[in-house]
Structures are given as C-alpha cells and as structure tokens.
C-alpha cells in the first residue's frame, strides 16, 4: 500500500505527515538532518506504529489499564495492544485521518470500548527554522468524558536532553500514585545523555520546554509546549536508536488515576469542550 504524504518546507525545515497512519509525522528534517527516527519505507509505520516518527495520542496518553472500570458513570474495558498487557497511547495513533485543508487533519472516533465519541484536530505550521503543531481533543458526547492528549516523538540518537522537572514517577509500567523528588539517574535538569533503560514520567516542571542537542551535527533545539501538557514522559530503550520525549496532559495509567482519585488524572471534559496543546520545535546551530 502506498502511503500519501503531506509535506511542508520553509527556511531549512522539512515536515512530512502521513494522514493514513495516525496523522503522524514521518519526518522532521532541520538543516539537512533527520531529527526523528524515520524509517526508509513509510509502510513501516503501519507495521510498527509505536516506534517511529511522532504520533498524536488521544483520548488518553501512555498506558491505561485493561481491567474493567466504571469511570465518569460509564463502564470502560479496553483491549490490550502492548506486550505488557496495557492499552497504550489511545485510539488514533494508526487510524486514518481526513485532510481538512492544506495544514489540518481530523479524526472522529470513540463510542466502542471507549464509550464516548470525540474528534481530534492536528494543525501543522512550518516557518523560520521551526515547526508547530496544535492538537485539539473535542468531546462529541452528551456526558463528561475523561480526556488526555499528547504527542509521542522519537528523537534520533545520539542525543542530549534537559528536562526542567523536580519530581518523577520512576516506572511507567506500574507507576506509583505520587511522584518523588528527582535523583540520579532521573535528574535530567542538566543537558546530558539520558541513561539507557529509563521509562518514566516527569512532573512539577519548572519551565515549558525541553532542550535537545545533537552534538554530532552541531544542532540544538528547544521543544516547547503549552502549560496543559504538565507531564513529560521520556524513554530511552537500550535497543533503540532514539529517545521518546512525550509532553502530555496527564500521568499514566490514565483510568486508574481517575477511578482512584489519584493526582495526575485525566481531566473530565464537558460535552462540546476542547482540550488543546500547542507544540513547537525550534532548531538552531549549536554555539
């Protein structure tokens, strides 16, 4: 199957998206360097949707339990889609999105295992050595809906990263209810290589941006996001040539936190309301 691209280019930035596979970013190229883990064949995104490019997460982010739960007055029983038995990264990461105009994609989903209807818009922008993305999750149902939205980019290694966060949930597979103060190797407040094997959620952010650096290419980037994305999931698998850096609106696991009244739970979005996050990646030559 031939995948259809949308492509934007301006002032050294090239952006390529795949509407048919989760509305995802296939490529972000800056000053001649691919910053994402980009496969040689776009069809690889369909075969391995969790491990390439950058994809939107909605209506929840990261892991959710597959145990039956009553949440916001409705029974939810999600199917596992990951080897650890969790329901991960929402419902829209690999589904086909429709093209609304030259810079906007949309998907409508829900009403099955996730018993609320919703839609998501992705609005892309490229200019002046940066790219921007606005994600909007709208509740189309007639009752309040648990709502989470985020972006899941895989930034290519070798990479240095700085995360301005004071507290962390050290394990995304079975997270504690409350975060703890950062200590090595989870203290990422200075620009450095992230230790292999970390997969955690940082919170109590003291800024609205993550700093990235690719010393081999003399490139630096500021990855900025709006305050609604108050949780930063990051993972550095030892067997992958990329680091996941995922600003999102709640901590994992989504539904357990809401049902158990734990901090960091998804918001309850009123009918017709929108949860939105703006992202910007601004790239420059390193000093």
Q: Find the length of the chain.
A: 287
> So what's the pLDDT on residue 100?
97
Round to whole Å and give the CA distance between 28 and 35: 6
> So what's the pLDDT on residue 129?
84
Confidence of residue 241 (pLDDT cuts 50, 70, 90): very high
Identify whether 76 is part of a domain.
yes
CATH of the domain at 207: 2.70.98.10
Q: In which domain, by residue range, is 180 found?
A: 6-285
Identify whether 193 is part of a domain.
yes
Q: Each residue of 18-39: pLDDT tens digit?
A: 999 999 999 999 999 999 999 9
For the cut 80, the answer to whether the pLDDT of residue 221 exceeds it is yes
Coil, strand or helix at 258? helix
The 10 Å Cβ neighbour count of residue 272 is 10
Identify whether 1 is part of a domain.
no
For the cut 80, the answer to whether the pLDDT of residue 77 exceeds it is yes
Identify whether 94 is part of a domain.
yes
For the cut 70, the answer to whether the pLDDT of residue 168 exceeds it is yes
The 10 Å Cβ neighbour count of residue 264 is 21
The structural domain count of the chain equals 1
Identify whether 175 is part of a domain.
yes
Question: DSSP class of residue 80?
Answer: P
For the cut 80, the answer to whether the pLDDT of residue 142 exceeds it is yes
> So what's the pLDDT on residue 191?
98
Q: Each residue of 202-219: pLDDT tens digit?
A: 999 998 899 999 999 999
In contact, 136 and 275? CB cutoff 8 Å: yes
For the cut 60, the answer to whether the pLDDT of residue 268 exceeds it is yes
For the cut 60, the answer to whether the pLDDT of residue 122 exceeds it is yes
266 token code pair: 């998804």
């Amino acid at each position: 199957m031939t995948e259809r691209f949308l492509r934007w280019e301006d002032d050294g930035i090239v952006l390529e998206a795949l509407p048919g596979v989760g509305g995802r970013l296939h490529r972000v190229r800056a000053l001649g360097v691919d910053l994402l883990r980009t496969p040689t064949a776009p069809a690889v995104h369909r075969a391995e949707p969790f491990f390439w490019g950058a994809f939107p997460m909605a209506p929840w982010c990261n892991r959710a339990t597959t145990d039956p739960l009553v949440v916001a007055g409705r029974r939810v029983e999600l199917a596992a889609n990951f080897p650890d038995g969790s329901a991960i990264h929402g419902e829209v990461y690999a589904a086909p999105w429709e093209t609304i105009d030259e810079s906007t994609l949309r998907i409508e989903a829900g009403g099955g295992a996730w018993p609320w209807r919703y839609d998501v818009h992705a609005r892309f922008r490229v200019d002046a050595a940066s790219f921007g993305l606005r994600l909007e999750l709208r509740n189309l149902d007639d009752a309040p809906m648990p709502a989470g939205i985020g972006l899941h980019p895989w930034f290519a290694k070798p990479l240095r990263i700085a995360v301005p966060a004071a507290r962390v949930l050290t394990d995304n597979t079975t997270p504690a209810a409350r975060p703890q103060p950062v200590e090595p190797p989870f203290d990422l407040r200075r620009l450095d290589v992230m230790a292999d094997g970390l997969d955690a959620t940082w919170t109590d952010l003291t800024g609205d941006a993550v700093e990235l650096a690719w010393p081999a290419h003399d490139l630096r980037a500021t990855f900025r996001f709006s305050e609604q994305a108050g949780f930063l999931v990051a993972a550095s698998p030892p067997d992958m040539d990329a680091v996941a850096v995922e600003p999102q609106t709640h901590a994992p696991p989504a539904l357990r936190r809401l049902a158990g009244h734990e901090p960091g739970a998804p918001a309850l979005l009123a009918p017709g309301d929108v949860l939105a996050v703006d992202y910007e990646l601004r790239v420059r030559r390193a000093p």
